[in-house]
Amino acid sequence: MIFTAIFSGFKKAALLLGFIVIGLFAAVSAQAQVTSATDPKTEIKSSLTELSNLYKSEVERLEKRHEQSQQLFNDGLISRVDLEKGEKELGDARAKVEQITKEIAAVNQPAPVLTPDVVASLAAVGNQVWSTGNAKIDNLIRYYGGQYGVDPFLIYCTMAQESSFTTAATSPKGAQGLMQLMPDTAARYGVTNSYDVAQNIKGGTRYLKDLLKMFNGRVDLALAGYNAGEGAVMKYGNTIPPYTETRNYVRLILKRYNTRKQVS
């Protein structure tokens, strides 16, 4: 009887310990879920901060190079043209830092109050929901789309066709990243790392914005320019160039993009 009582006591203690352990695991799991839930603003700010750090590093590098160039100029070893070229590069790099600082400040602004009109507008476009499957990419598409006046859904459709949302995508021709930026296009828009998600989306969105402006809002021509280059579109009298790849590219993106409009 004594042994039975002791055994029963151990059994109860073991069960109690099991419940405690399970409770601890549940608490840790719940805490992990809370920690992993990241505010969209925080993700965007984090991406912009990473970009800002890259720009600041570039400014520091150019400042050191400019100091050296200034000394070489004073010694008569380089021309004023070379010196002024370095000064311009440094000025452009500093301007990028200022711009990204303003963008970070804008993200920190409180969200606007949702008036009844705004709520009604949001309800009207409820069927425009889309996702790349990555919250950070979705947020950056919406952010830069809003900043540069490009429909985020158009950016999404273009990205789907370009890379299928693969950040490390590289084409045989050398296009890189989510928006498949060619090296010269990346350089045009200040993208120093085409595989950086924020830089890539920002550069691709700015390119789309310029193409839409160039072709008077014609989405088909902007897409043709994105694929074949704006020069090819202008060469054929502001029409879609007669390239099979380009025509299929435009057709497929417009099919996806216009589906939303048909159900609106």
At 48 the pLDDT is 72
At 76 the pLDDT is 85
Q: Is the pTM of this model over 0.85?
A: no
Distance set, CA 154 to CA 12, 131, 144, 149 (Å): 63, 12, 12, 11
Enzyme catalytic residues: 162
Query: pLDDT per residue over 229-253, tens digit each?
Result: 999 999 999 999 999 999 999 999 9
Helix extents (H) in 164-243: 183-188, 197-214, 219-228, 230-235
**Lowest-confidence pick of 36-45, 90-99, 178-187, 221-230:** 36-45
Distance set, CA 129 to CA 124, 132, 160, 209, 264 (Å): 11, 11, 15, 22, 12
In the block, which residue shows the tokens 């920002």?
Answer: 202
Query: pLDDT per residue over 105-155, tens digit each?
Result: 776 666 445 455 544 444 444 445 799 999 999 999 999 999 999 999 999
Work out the pLDDT band at 223, boundaries 50, 70, 90: very high
Check whether 9 has a pLDDT greater than 80.
no
Phi and psi at residue 203, in whole multiples of 5°? -65, -45
Tell me the average pLDDT across 43-62: 78
At 115 the pLDDT is 52
At 179 the pLDDT is 98
Query: pLDDT per residue over 172-209, tens digit each?
Result: 999 999 999 999 999 999 999 999 999 999 999 999 99
Sign of the CA dihedral running 74, 79, 85, 88: positive
At 89 the pLDDT is 87
At 40 the pLDDT is 53
Mean pLDDT for all residues in the chain: 80
At 32 the pLDDT is 41
- Could you tell me the fold of the domain covering 132-262? Lysozyme (1.10.530)
Tell me the average pLDDT across 67-96: 86
The answer to whether the beta carbons of residues 241 and 180 sit under 8 Å apart is: no
Q: What angle do CA 191, 195, 197 make, to 5 degrees?
A: 85
At 43 the pLDDT is 62
Distance set, CA 3 to CA 11, 12, 15, 16, 17 (Å): 12, 14, 18, 20, 21
Domain regions of the chain by residue span: 40-107, 132-262
